[in-house]
A = this chain, B = another copy of it.
Amino acid sequence: MSDRRLHVTVPDIGWVDRLADLADVELTVWDFTMPQPDRHIDLAVRPYTVAATGLELLDPSRIGVIQSQALGYDGVAETLPAGITYCNAVGVHEESTAELAVALLLASQREIDRYARERGEWNRRFTASLIDRRIMLLGYGGIGVEVEKRLDGFGAELVRVASHRREDDRGTIHGDDELPALLPTVDAVVLAVPLSDRTTQLVDDTFLAALPDGAVVVNVSRGKVVDTDAVVRQGGRVRLAADVTDPEPLPADHPLWSTRGVLISPHVGGMSSAMQPRIDAVVRRQVALLLGGFGPEDVVLG
């Protein structure tokens, strides 16, 4: 089909097995913690969870494209050498992260975390629910849409908010300038915004104070979207169910761990059985594009 042959590096040997059927591709293992190989790499798949060498040390004359396994790329622009193309992982984590958002929201409302900790006790109490409640979906990108899909059947009213007001076939998506009016009317807020100047510490004392007693904030976007100290200051009046924190990892002695009404998972939104088939498919698509002489998809830098 093609006289090109691609050199693709993958971060561990499992990848070599899974992609062994790819024609016209030479697969070698490089996990970004070892020195950059001497040979030219057409496509380098970055490791997902392992702390990798800083991108600033890479020699751009020997790498064409870096494929990240993450959706976010905070800090990459500041360190990526000119000449390297950087692609994020679109379609890999959105569903899994949205699933975790709903899992955290439900667990918080129905107090599943309390039952887990009170193992051996039989304390029946009424709890909150999603039924008849108003849930704000703040951020309406890839994750937000997947959260909406999952919340559809729960008998709640969804209040969608994005950066600019617009209408779609489901009704109004509110602009974030309407937050002060909307926050007092909702029982839950699911944060699915990207991190930007506009969203850094968006959930601060003022935001939290506008929410009614017993409301819950679910954060699956980035830790810095929430002012951690402000949540601690709420002392449980407004609850938090978060997969991301600031700082991250959250130190063992941080007061957020023991704040009433706080449930934390350790940034595992994308870390589910849904990930591997989806990131494999992304890399297969990029290989097909490069072999065909096209540029890669989902370029965010370079």
Contact = CB atoms under 8 A, between A and B. Distances in A.
A88 interface: no
Interface in A117-135: 117, 119-133
Most chain B CB atoms below 10 A, which of A253, A263, A266: A266
Interface string A255-294: 0011000011111100111110100000000000000000
A112 interface: yes
Given A124-B271, A126-B273, A272-B127, A263 B115 contact: yes
Nearest to A154: B150
A240 B152 CA distance: 26
Instruction: Give the number of copies in the complex.
Output: 2
Interface string A93-124: 00110011011101101101111110111111
A118 to B, nearest CB: 9
Contacts of A1: none
A49 interface: yes
A211 B124 CA distance: 31
Contact of A115 (B129, B266, B275): B266
Interface in A66-115: 95-96, 99-100, 102-104, 106-107, 109-110, 112-115
A258 B119 CA distance: 8
A131 B268 contact: no
Nearest to A49: B124
A151 B264 CA distance: 24
A6 interface: no
B115 A257 contact: no
Contacts of A182: none
B116 A117 contact: yes
A155 interface: yes
Contacts of A271: 124-127
Contacts of A114: 116
A115 B102 CA distance: 15
Nearest to A102: B106
Contacts of A152: 152-153
Contacts of A266: 115, 121-124
Contacts of A5: none
A129 B96 contact: yes
A4 interface: no
Contacts of A110: 99-100, 103, 265, 268, 272
Interface of A: 49, 95-96, 99-100, 102-104, 106-107, 109-110, 112-117, 119-133, 149-155, 249-250, 252-253, 257-258, 263-268, 271-275, 277
Given A106-B106, A112-B265, A113-B115, 4 more contacts: A96-B129, A99-B131, A125-B268, A151-B153
12 contacts: A102-B106, A107-B107, A112-B113, A113-B113, A113-B116, A119-B257, A119-B258, A119-B264, A120-B253, A122-B249, A126-B268, A131-B273
